[in-house]
């Protein structure tokens, strides 16, 4: 077993948020709640973005391509130094799991809000992580180390098709491809390497056995630098398109108390085996009553709000506290799950065309409210959805005393949500929340493939009139993005926008 590394930490004052969009806003809010200053960064494509306006100050880090802005370690460190920040929060995606940023922070005397570089390096090596988990007694699936193309072909044949190609350096579903036959492997490897290179700056891929009609369940973990480590229950993440989650809920409707307890203990064991510190997620695939370790996502997850809603724990604030050297402050007995929470990711995608990502300008944006409903997002009327970044616009989370209550609240929230100008996943969410398989909680990772793709596409009465109304709204004059004057930084950003 690896001893937990002890990252250098100190009470924080001012945090640079090395991300964009809804997660940047989420972290900025956590900084406010924690009494910390918040610094934003932005590319030229995000000059008028909501997270820029929300921070105390904002710094340009480059042109729109992520490789020249949000994936530039040097630009992030330079911005932190210029702003006088003493810590960097990476959010999720981009550099969140890249040990180079964590190490650059350490070298620059900055606190990295996340695991130390060595732990990120260990978790990023999926093969090493699997070996560590297996050594801790956690069951794993057959798989390989990151390999070259020829070795991947050889090992995939040995494991047996279908297999899953996965990016070694990242997560979030990017760089993942299901390969059902050997003849399809070469093209899938090329695509996976390209996606992984673009998203994480690392084109290494590996192969893992694919389990059909299984469930994807993950366990939230939290650890401080003194070695205290707990889990905060599981999240059910089986509703996916392109191996990326679109609906998540907590707790999982597939687990009973004994399986839930076993997976929680396995997650803690796997995290201890790699010496984990700060917030992270241990991912599993579940088939019947068997579960297998997949990987550790060494960051905050997109779907973390459902855990916050059922546990009452603010994970982003806890991340900041742990990075500042505070103890966890509670043990496993202090974790209680109450009620049920479900999250719907709203992305600029066309569900009727295979969830293809979409670019364009958002017209109207009406978001829901009401008891038990939370919206995390950076969506405003008039914002531009570009090809440079993930098309996620917002997350709508509903909580209820029971799963049925949470479904009812989220379904109502989706009925209230109106977004024009670009297609979104809202129609899919309305359909899914009414589907009997979802309402029974008996779905698997093939739900979208088997239920959505084969659905009755006959438009209901009145659909044509509704479509005409939406088309009219989308064609109306687009209001200017909302921005508030925050002082010199805003003026600088405005000058950039006008230049």
Gyration radius (Cα) of the chain, Å: 22
Instruction: Report how many helices (DSSP H) and strands (DSSP E) the chain contains, helices first.
Output: 17, 22
Phi (first) and psi of residue 394, to 5 degrees: -165, 165
> 177: which residues sit within 8 A by CB, 6+ positions away?
164, 165, 188, 191, 192, 243
**β-pairing verdict for 229-241 and 418-419:** unpaired
CA distance 24 to 26: 5
Q: Which own/partner pairs from 34-38 qualify as long-range (CB within 8 Å, at least 24 positions apart)?
A: 34/317, 34/320, 34/321, 36/12, 36/320, 37/13, 37/85, 38/14
Whether 96 and 296 have beta carbons less than 8 Å apart is answered as no
Which residue carries 């916050």 as its tokens?
A: 308
In 42-88, where does DSSP find H-type helix?
50-54, 73-83
SS3 at position 212:
coil
Active site residues: 299
Whether 325 and 9 have beta carbons less than 8 Å apart is answered as yes
Q: In what order do the strands lie in the sheet with 87-89?
A: 57-62, 37-43, 14-17, 87-89, 111-112
Residue of 134, 140, 123, 193 whose CA lies nearest to 165: 193
H-helix or E-strand spanning residue 200: helix 185-200
Tally Cβ neighbours within 10 Å of residue 182. Answer: 12
Burial (CB count within 10 angstroms: exposed 0-12, middle 13-18, buried 19+), residue 25? buried
Tally Cβ neighbours within 10 Å of residue 434. Answer: 12
């Amino acid at each position: 077993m690896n001893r937990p590394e002890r990252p250098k930490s100190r009470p924080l004052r001012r945090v640079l948020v090395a991300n964009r969009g809804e997660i940047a806003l989420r972290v900025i809010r956590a900084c406010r709640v924690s009494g910390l200053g918040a610094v934003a960064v932005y590319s030229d494509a995000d000059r008028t973005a909501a997270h820029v306006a929300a921070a105390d100050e904002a710094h340009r880090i480059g042109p729109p391509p992520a490789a020249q802005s949000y994936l530039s370690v040097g630009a992030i460190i330079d911005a932190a130094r210029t702003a006088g920040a003493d810590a960097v929060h990476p959010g999720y995606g981009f550099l969140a799991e890249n040990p180079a940023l964590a190490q650059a922070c350490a070298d620059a005397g900055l606190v990295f809000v996340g695991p130390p570089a060595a732990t990120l390096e260990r978790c990023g090596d999926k093969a090493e992580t699997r070996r560590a988990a297996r050594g801790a007694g956690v069951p794993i699936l057959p798989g390989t180390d990151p390999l070259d193309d020829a070795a991947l072909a050889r090992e995939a044949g040995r494991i047996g098709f279908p297999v899953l190609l996965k990016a070694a350096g990242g997560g979030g579903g990017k760089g993942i491809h299901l390969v059902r036959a050997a003849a399809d492997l070469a093209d899938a490897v090329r695509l996976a390497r390209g996606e992984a290179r673009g998203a994480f700056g690392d084109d290494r891929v590996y192969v893992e056995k694919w389990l059909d009609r299984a469930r994807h369940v993950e366990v939230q973990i939290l650890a401080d630098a003194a070695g205290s480590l707990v889990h905060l229950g599981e999240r059910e993440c089986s509703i996916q398109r392109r191996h990326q989650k679109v609906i998540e809920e907590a707790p999982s409707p597939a687990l009973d108390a004994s399986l839930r307890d076993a997976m929680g203990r396995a997650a803690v064991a796997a995290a201890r085996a790699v010496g984990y510190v700060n917030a992270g997620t241990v991912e599993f695939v579940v088939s019947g009553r068997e579960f297998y370790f997949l990987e550790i996502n060494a960051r905050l997850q997109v779907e973390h709000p459902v855990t916050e809603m059922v546990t009452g724990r603010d994970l982003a604030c806890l991340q900041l506290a742990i990075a500042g050297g505070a103890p966890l402050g509670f043990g496993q007995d202090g974790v209680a799950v109450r009620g049920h929470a479900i999250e719907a990711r709203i992305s600029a995608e066309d569900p009727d065309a295979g969830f293809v990502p979409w670019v364009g300008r958002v017209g109207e944006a009406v978001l829901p409210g009401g008891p038990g409903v939370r919206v995390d997002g950076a969506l405003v009327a008039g914002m531009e959805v570009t090809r440079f970044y993930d098309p996620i616009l917002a997350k709508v989370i509903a909580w209820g005393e029971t799963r049925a209550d949470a479904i009812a609240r989220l379904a109502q929230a989706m009925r209230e949500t109106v977004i024009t100008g670009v297609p979104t996943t809202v129609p899919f969410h309305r359909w899914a929340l009414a589907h009997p398989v979802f309402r029974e909680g008996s779905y698997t990772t093939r739900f979208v493939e088997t239920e959505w793709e084969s659905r009755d596409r006959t438009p209901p009465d009145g659909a044509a009139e509704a479509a005409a109304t939406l088309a009219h709204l989308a064609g109306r004059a687009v209001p200017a993005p909302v921005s508030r004057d925050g002082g010199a930084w805003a003026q600088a950003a405005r000058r950039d926008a006008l230049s």
